[in-house]
Chain A
Amino acid sequence: MKKLSARRRHPLAAVVVLLLALAATGGLYAAFAPADKAQADETAQSLAIEEGKKLYTVGCASCHGTGGQGTSDGPSLVGVGSAAVDFQVGTGRMPAQQPGAQMPKKPVIYSQAEIDQLAAYVASLGPGPVTPTESQYSPEGADIANGGVLFRTNCAQCHNFTGAGGALTDGKYAPNLEGVSAKHLYEAMQTGPQNMPSFPDTTMPEQEKRDIIAYVQNVNSGDTATPGGLSLGGLGPVSEGLFAWVFGMGALIATAIWVAAHTAKAKKS
């Protein structure tokens, strides 16, 4: 203890204190940061278990109106079709937790059976895009290269070259497409969720959607080959520049310090 207090005026004391403070802040943050998963599970329990309309009345009607006609808090669901429900509920975007610029992806709280029941109910309100079957969205045998061309024409402007996502106006954003299922990709193109425009079969036929899905799954999945090493998020020059400064210059300066430092002297006496 005595030793410690004697060293508190040491030139390096400030650095040590700073490091400790940083570590403490980080630790506290890690300890108290909201645990998303636990909360979601709780909501899952508190939210409905019923079927069809019953599910709707409990989970959706407060914003979308009792008959799906829409309110000031949520758009009309007449004519959005079962595909939209399957996408919105199946990716956890609906039911929404709170109003905001955009409804984020969350853990799904309905079972697929419940989602299907909800979708059937909403589809009965008015005709709209129907939940696709596997033969429609399966990327099996699709043309990846053509998918790439289509992706760069129709999708990359918002979702980035390989679907890493990007910013839109006023806090809205196009999400990262990694890990999104083929079915949900298909439904998103078909229905245009939230602010995303739709790409209906009349302008982008089924086959082309499959090509796009094949491309996305090829270039943006956990198994995507990044021959050059770390992909750095696939975000382009900004993350590359950051890496060059932090790790490149960091390593080089550390080396320079070693090269120029005086070698330890022999202890006196």
Chain B
Amino acid sequence: MSSQDIPEESPSSEQDHAHGAVAVKDPFADPGLPAHRPRVQDIDERAAKRSERTVALLFTVSMLATVAFIASYVVFPVDKIVYIWPFGHVSALNFALGLTLGLALFCIGAGAVHWARTLMSDEERVDERHPVEAAPEVKAKVMADFAAGAEESGFGRRKLIRNTLFGALAMVPLSGVVLLRDLGPLPEDKLRHTLWAAGKQLINMNTNEPLRPEDVSVGSLTFAMPEGLSEHDHSFQTEIAKAALMIVRIQPEDIKDRRELEWSHEGIVAFSKICTHVGCPISLYEQQTHHVLCPCHQSTFDLSDGARVIFGPAGHALPQLRIGVNDEGFLEALGDFEEPVGPSFWERG
């Protein structure tokens, strides 16, 4: 912005005085700092003594509180629970340590502030300000120095040096970027597959037993994982993050989506438990409406209609797992999910 952008009226800081010159007596003029008025403590030595005693008392309380802190640390067992109204059944140790520490600290602060407020001088003082901007002659000197330095370096003249230096400086951080490559593997098709495969039985997460169709009643909610996965597996967390399954049973005549019905077994439908929005394990199933809600961002899916989104920020339906029954009468998957589970991503397509 050029300097002509400053409003014409922009006053110099002497504006107030200039104003005062126009009128004989400016009623709005700055009357200057009001005279200092003494506090009780300034004129009454007894009051000052009282303040002194208060400050000393606060510091003493702080000392006692620290002693009490150490005593509490020694005395109270770490697992002692006591009832203290209105806080509830709290840890005696935490309560005692916190209060004594708080008191010890607070009293130091209160003492210091009371001291400053009542006994130290409360006369207001004035400091002058100086403009941040340098005086023109200082600026001129700096500019001249810089020009001399730049000239002596030959930076402007020897373009070859300058350009290669820029090149070198620009390239050297690349090494740092390259070093970050091994932070993790490439995505490849990792997000497209889960542990589910044709013939894998549906294992009840509660019992760790395979599920039978007759176990799953209408209105019930069951969670399943693929056969062969165990909580103790090293990769359990990563696998269950994709493979978690939610199983409900809907009267076949209530299922509105044809493919959903085809992929179900006598109304037993298996959907991914991982929300297609950002991946929360969605499972707030309302058995009368067949709606399932995500507790994180309230995406709502209709499990009776292909798990399509009926509310909230999710972009597409929950993937369904095609299931059937094997020869022993257990529920099994008829393949992996046909689309990636969980949140959408660029390559999802």
Contacts and interface: CB of A to CB of B under 8 A. Distances in A.
Contact between A and B in the complex (any CB pair below 8 Å):
yes
Interface of A: 150, 153-154, 157-158, 166, 168-169, 172, 174, 192, 194-200, 202-205, 208, 223-231, 258-259, 262-266, 268
B122 interface: yes
Given A157-B283, A195-B288, A266-B42, A229 B89 contact: no
B40 A266 contact: yes
A178 to B, nearest CB: 12
A111 B219 CA distance: 29
Contacts of B87: 226, 229-230
Contacts of A268: 37
A168 B282 CA distance: 12
B39 A157 contact: no
Interface of A is mostly: loop
A225 to B, nearest CB: 5
B223 A157 contact: no
Given A197-B220, A264-B40, A203 B287 contact: no
B287 A154 contact: no
A228 B94 contact: yes
Contacts of A199: 220-222
B66 interface: no
Interface string B89-122: 1110011001000000000000001000110001
Given A153-B205, A229-B95, A263-B122, A195 B286 contact: yes
Contacts of B98: 229
B219 A198 contact: yes
A226 B84 CA distance: 11
B217 A157 contact: no
A208 B206 CA distance: 8
B88 A226 contact: yes
Contacts of B39: 263-266
Contact of A265 (B38, B81, B285, B291): B38
A84 to B, nearest CB: 11
A259 B106 CA distance: 13
Interface stretch (B55-63, B208-216, B338-346): B208-216
